[in-house]
Amino acid sequence: MKSLIIAFLILPHLAYSVDWKNPDLICPEQAVARGLPCPDLTTVRNPSEDFPTEMQPEEIRIWKTQNAVDLRVCRAKELLRREALQPGSFGALPVQIAWMHASAGNSSQEKYKAMVEASTKYNIPIHVLIGALTQESLLSDLGISPDGGNFSCGIGQLNVIEWCNGMKTLSPAEQEKLGWPAISCESKLVTPAMVGPFYDLALKKLDGRPAYQIDAKDFKGITIADVAHRLPRQSAALRFKALSSFINNCQNFELGIRIKAQNLRLLFDRHVPAKMKTSELYSEGEGFKQTCEQKNTSRYYPLHTGWLMTLAIYNAGATMVDLLGHYHQTTSDKLPALTPPDLVEALYWGGKYNPANGRIYFKKYSHTATKSCVVQRHVARAVQHVSRPGNPLLRSLEEIPCAQGVSERRKTSSGVRK
């Protein structure tokens, strides 16, 4: 859910250095819930923070570290239990996030298996893929959300064009089984905005449930006659078939994870500068030194800057490459060696801010200052999701929340590397 503001503290400056060749990360298998029995949280005062009084310090330490994801699911379930007993006990956002964490615990091991398979198939560092998916949805089974007209869906928060790209990797028989027609993804026969008419009708069926809990079943019964007046007339039946297939299947997490990885691979291959692709690679015989059940099968460093750049491109477009070049006052083939903090710095500070219209200008492009803020935060949080609890390896540079505007520091920035 790209538009969701997930509650994180803005982190203070990280004074320690990081060995990006072997960063201190959680093991991939620790990024998902294992289905552990929950501690009894029914009597604690605050289900989001407190532990049972009888729990020993060592037990608490284990829950906070290697069992941290299961603890998050347990706390979410307890919060939702209390909210169901006394509606309004918690704010709307805490309840939404709790619902997402609880949903993330569903089929968590199957989700993990799908992430490992997709990471291997598309040669994406597993930590980057897990961080990206967690930042998009907290690994929950989200239905379609408006997302500023993008109408994203599922664990990977894919739109219908990204879904189309994924469908093209399936066999004709698999596509037909999913009800996907033979169409070109570049033809604009379907666009993200065309999901809007379906979504508006489904909202009317929620019967009091919040919109983030919308599900494929809420779209059942919608006919072509119901939406035809809001779709282009040409090839209406073909459009309807493709859009219906997307709506009916986009919550399938196995497909969503695979298609997310495939789209990230496309962006990496097409847009990430060659120099970034070939930096941060282990030499023959080297590898990530951390001892985990799931080995790092890629030659890329676990938090490879080029792959993190791919997340920025996915979130804000290929012009992020030009923003990076502008900040370093060079072309993409002559960029200096960069680390993840260097990337976040360039995404946030690159480009000259114009206070008259609130836009950032770089080379022949411009975008809003909010986009610069959000894209660097997106990358930083993807890294935070796979950092050890209490030991974040990358911070967001926002001084005030992105949605609240631009800081004075941003206003006076030259937009180039000093």
Under a CB-based contact definition with an 8 Å cutoff, are residues 299 and 282 in contact? yes
Domain match, 333 and 292 both: yes
Domain holding 173, by residue range, is 166-249
Per-residue pLDDT band for 103 (boundaries 50, 70, 90) equals: very high
pLDDT score recorded for residue 13: 42
Under a CB-based contact definition with an 8 Å cutoff, are residues 261 and 116 in contact? no
Q: How many domains in the chain?
A: 3
pLDDT score recorded for residue 354: 94
Range with lowest mean pLDDT among 58-67, 76-85, 281-290: 281-290
Where are any strands of DSSP class E within 206-343? Answer: none
53 falls within a domain: yes
**Residue that is last in its domain, among 76, 104, 132:** 104
DSSP result, 103-139? HHTTTHHHHHHHHHHHHHHHT--HHHHHHHHHHHHTT
150 falls within a domain: no
Domain match, 53 and 4 both: no
Tell the burial category of 81 from Cβ atoms under 10 Å away from its Cβ (0-12, 13-18, 19+): middle
Domain match, 125 and 183 both: no
Domain match, 24 and 45 both: no
Q: Which residues contact 199 (CB under 8 A, 6 or more apart)?
A: 144, 146, 151, 214
Using alpha carbons only, give the angle 205, 208, 212 rounded to the nearest 5 degrees. 80
190 falls within a domain: yes
Domain match, 316 and 411 both: yes
313 falls within a domain: yes
Which residue matches tokens 């060995």?
A: 19
Domain match, 14 and 83 both: no
pLDDT score recorded for residue 298: 87
Taking only the tens place, the pLDDT of each residue in 304-336 is 999 999 999 999 999 999 999 999 999 999 999
Domain match, 284 and 215 both: no
Per-residue pLDDT band for 4 (boundaries 50, 70, 90) equals: very low
Under a CB-based contact definition with an 8 Å cutoff, are residues 377 and 402 in contact? yes
Using alpha carbons only, give the angle 65, 119, 184 rounded to the nearest 5 degrees. 135
pLDDT score recorded for residue 157: 97
DSSP result, 331-374? -GGGPPP--HHHHHHHHHH-SEEETTTTEEEETTEEEEHHHHHH
pLDDT score recorded for residue 53: 96
Cα separation, 70 vs 62, in Å, equals 11
255 falls within a domain: no
* Residue-level length of the chain: 418
149 falls within a domain: no
DSSP H or E stretch at residue 333: none
Question: Taking all residues of the chain, what is their mean pLDDT, rounded to a whole number?
Answer: 93
Taking only the tens place, the pLDDT of each residue in 388-409 is 998 999 999 999 999 998 988 8
Under a CB-based contact definition with an 8 Å cutoff, are residues 386 and 301 in contact? no
Per-residue pLDDT band for 279 (boundaries 50, 70, 90) equals: very high
Cα separation, 368 vs 389, in Å, equals 33
Domain match, 211 and 320 both: no
Domain match, 344 and 413 both: yes
**Residue that is last in its domain, among 182, 214, 249:** 249
pLDDT at position 45 over 90: yes
Domain match, 85 and 222 both: no
DSSP H or E stretch at residue 366: strand 365-368
51 falls within a domain: yes
Task: Report the amino acid identity of residue 404.
Answer: Q
Domain match, 22 and 89 both: no
Taking only the tens place, the pLDDT of each residue in 11-26 is 444 445 899 999 999 9
Domain match, 403 and 298 both: yes
